[in-house]
Amino acid sequence: MTGPAEPTVEALRQRLADFAAARRWEPFHTPKNLAAALSVEAGELLEIFQWLTPEQAAAVMSEPERAHRVRDEVADVLAYLLQFCTVVGVDPLGALAAKIERNELRFPVPTDATGVGEKAVGAPEHVTGVNSDVGE
Amino acid sequence: MTGPAEPTVEALRQRLADFAAARRWEPFHTPKNLAAALSVEAGELLEIFQWLTPEQAAAVMSEPERAHRVRDEVADVLAYLLQFCTVVGVDPLGALAAKIERNELRFPVPTDATGVGEKAVGAPEHVTGVNSDVGE
Amino acid sequence: MTGPAEPTVEALRQRLADFAAARRWEPFHTPKNLAAALSVEAGELLEIFQWLTPEQAAAVMSEPERAHRVRDEVADVLAYLLQFCTVVGVDPLGALAAKIERNELRFPVPTDATGVGEKAVGAPEHVTGVNSDVGE
Amino acid sequence: MTGPAEPTVEALRQRLADFAAARRWEPFHTPKNLAAALSVEAGELLEIFQWLTPEQAAAVMSEPERAHRVRDEVADVLAYLLQFCTVVGVDPLGALAAKIERNELRFPVPTDATGVGEKAVGAPEHVTGVNSDVGE
């Protein structure tokens, strides 16, 4: 899913930091404001899907205007996440790698997958709703 | 902000896809469900900051328990964003690079930055609230 | 859906204001913090549903633990909405009544409902995604 | 904050239910879709405040365009909350009254308020971030 000249996350993060600095937006970019902005943008991505049927949602990228909106909101969410990481000093890829490792211990792969129903496997996390995220 | 063995976004995206496939969670990972989960996790990141003063928010990473929560929620947001990108077929870094280019045209750097007040520069985007995201 | 001694919204709004004042929480209850808290709680309500199938979601109140969580999150959302209204001086019922009136003009009832397909009626608002809220 | 002909919550809830039925929107109004829509609208309310300074946020209703947006988003949040309550059969005022009663036990009023600093009183709930909602 990546092209030959694909930028790295670190390059994009730095470019966003330079972008904000050049426009003197840094005073607005507090951790709290950026966390709010990230949440707002995630809501805008969800808005695209809120009334769609499962069939419409699955075909979202085949409709050009919607596809553009989806890419645009993905970019906004990632932009604010990286700007948040800049101001708090978190390495997003390192944080995710560490979390995946914790999750591999927390949700072991069923040893005999052929004998286990899909629902049973998914149930502990997804159906209880108590720990409904991928991680902790 | 990155270590020597830093994983790439593409490697993490693939690892999350394999993780979900091994646990047979794919039926749950519809675009709509993942957009909802992304929004929920962004809310959990915001929750850490909601009652903090600016001073407390700025020092959030100096308190170990809160710092862990911040890294954990950053990982969750990024995980769901990448899983969303997998199911809709969007390249997140390409989408962000394209958006930054559009924004560089949309918000030109002030030519004489020294003569322009910070607030005035930030105002057109930030204060109207009409276009309150980084991008379009 | 209401009992004989049902409290009014105004009585509950005042009770929440007194509650916050007695505990000296007012300095925390800025419009921005309360809007953030409202968004966080709405995310917690959504979290209950994020992985549920349509069948599970429709039966959510028949499972006691989930039913309690739903009522609890509804209460939290309403509590923060009313507290927000207190600090900005908005009358929530008046605002909603005004909006419904605007929407009745904006989305007229189809004159010959029997001849119009359900999807077609819903489509203008719901499917375009441009104006995806009930109102403006 | 209420006028003489103030509608009740129950009257508005019923009016919204009739509104949706007349337009045949009921198939879209699943609990999950309405919870998503509520979260999206709460994000739109937060968006108004995301870059505002505390001073700007406190004066939000003195600027007519912003004041209109605030009332409009309050109406949207309340509309989706009431529509959600309709489809799941929850009494929103009863749920809030019950929660306030639980919270009055959970967060007792300090017996000697004059001798206790504001921050100390607020701290147990607000600063830990573990139980950062008004309620449980």
The 10s digit of each residue's pLDDT in A44-58 is 999 999 999 999 999
CB spacing of D42 vs C37 below 8 angstroms: no
Residue/partner pairs of B122-125 with CB below 8 Å, 24 or more apart: B122/A23, B122/A24, B122/A25, B122/A27, B122/A28, B122/D51, B125/A25
Q: What is the Cα–Cα distance from B19 to C49, expressed in whole angstroms?
A: 22
CB spacing of D109 vs C22 below 8 angstroms: yes
Closest chain B residue to C34 measured between Cα atoms? B50
Tokens coding B38: 């992304």
Task: Give C114's DSSP letter.
Answer: G
Mean pLDDT within B92-110: 95
CB spacing of B46 vs A39 below 8 angstroms: yes
Chain D contact set for A57 (CB, 8 A): none
Instruction: Give which of B28, B40, B52 to mutate to test C binding, by max C Cβ within 10 Å.
Output: B40
The 10s digit of each residue's pLDDT in D20-72 is 999 999 999 999 999 999 999 999 999 999 999 999 999 999 999 999 999 99
Q: Which residue, among A94, C74, C116, has the nearest Cα to D135 in the 3D structure? A: C74
Give the SS3 label for residue A121: helix
Beta strands in C80-126 (DSSP E): none
Q: What is the Cα–Cα distance from A7 to A13, expressed in whole angstroms?
A: 10
pLDDT score at B115: 41
Give the contacts of C102 (CB within 8 A, at least 6 positions apart): C135, C136
DSSP string, D21-76: HHTT-GGG--HHHHHHHHHHHHHHHHHHHTT--HHHHHTGGGSHHHHHHHHHHHHH
Mean pLDDT within B31-58: 97
CB spacing of D46 vs A40 below 8 angstroms: yes
- The interface predicted TM-score of the complex, written ipTM, equals 0.84
pLDDT score at B117: 39
Q: What is the Cα–Cα distance from D113 to D118, expressed in whole angstroms?
A: 9
CB spacing of C132 vs A51 below 8 angstroms: yes
The 10s digit of each residue's pLDDT in D60-109 is 999 999 999 999 999 999 999 999 999 999 999 999 999 999 999 999 99
Percent of chain B at pLDDT exceeding 90: 75
Nearest to A136 among B72, B118, B136 (CB): B72
Chain A contact set for C51 (CB, 8 A): 122, 126-127, 129, 132
Chain A neighbours, 3+ Cβ pairs < 8 A = B, C, D
Q: How remote is the C-alpha of D76 from its chain's centroid?
A: 10
Taking 90 as the threshold, does the pLDDT of residue B55 lie above it? yes
In this prediction, residue D5 has a pLDDT band, given cuts at 50, 70 and 90, of low
pLDDT score at C115: 41
pLDDT score at B105: 94
The 10s digit of each residue's pLDDT in A60-102 is 999 999 999 999 999 999 999 999 999 999 999 999 999 999 9
Q: In whole numbers, what is the pLDDT of chain B averaged over residues?
A: 85
In this prediction, residue A132 has a pLDDT band, given cuts at 50, 70 and 90, of very low
Q: What is the dihedral of CA C133, C10, B50, B128, to 10 degrees?
A: 50
pLDDT score at B110: 81
In this prediction, residue A2 has a pLDDT band, given cuts at 50, 70 and 90, of very low
The 10s digit of each residue's pLDDT in A107-127 is 999 875 544 443 434 433 443
In this prediction, residue D128 has a pLDDT band, given cuts at 50, 70 and 90, of very low
Burial of D90 (0-12, 13-18, 19+ CB in 10 A): buried
Chain B contact set for A25 (CB, 8 A): 121-122, 125-126
Give the contacts of C101 (CB within 8 A, at least 6 positions apart): none
How close, in Å, is residue A121 to chain D by CA atoms?
A: 23
CB spacing of D12 vs C93 below 8 angstroms: yes
Closest chain C residue to D105 measured between Cα atoms? C19
pLDDT score at C107: 94
Q: What is the Cα–Cα distance from D25 to D19, expressed in whole angstroms?
A: 9
Q: What is the Cα–Cα distance from B50 to C34, expressed in whole angstroms?
A: 8
Mean pLDDT within C73-98: 98
pLDDT score at A119: 40
Nearest to D126 among B32, B36, B51 (CB): B51
pLDDT score at B41: 98
Nearest to C78 among D28, D92, D122 (CB): D92
CB spacing of B52 vs D132 below 8 angstroms: no
In this prediction, residue B132 has a pLDDT band, given cuts at 50, 70 and 90, of very low
Closest chain C residue to B52 measured between Cα atoms? C28
Q: Which residues of chain B have a Cβ shorter than 8 Å from any chain D Cβ?
A: 32, 36, 39, 43, 47-48, 50-52, 56, 66, 69, 122, 126-127, 129, 132
Q: What is the Cα–Cα distance from D129 to B48, expressed in whole angstroms?
A: 6
